[in-house]
Amino acid sequence: MKLNNDEQSTYNTKFVEAVKILTPGTYFIKDFFGSDPSVPRIAKKFYEDVVVGVYSNVSLVNKRSREGYVVS
């Protein structure tokens, strides 16, 4: 999925950088957005990247994004 510039900036800040420093555990999309509202397009981009293996330390808990992500 191609994000627009604003979405890509948010994605880089809330996901790409965050994944590097997260402690092992289970996380949900709301954990990445914090107090900001979740953006479905950005959440979908993260899901797609996890499924294709962009992040070696992140996997899905099950098959759906809403079930969470495991950071190892």
Q: What is the SS3 string spanning the chain?
A: CCCCHHHHHHHHHHHHHHHHHCCCEEECHHHHHCCCCCCHHHHHHHHHHHHHCCCCCEEECCCCHHHCEEEC
Q: What's the pLDDT tens digit per position in 37-51?
A: 999 999 999 999 999
What is the model's pLDDT at position 16? 96
What is the total count of domains within the chain? 1
pLDDT at 52 over 90: yes
Where in the sequence is the domain holding 21, given as residue range(s)?
5-71
- pTM for the full predicted model: 0.94
Average pLDDT, the chain: 96
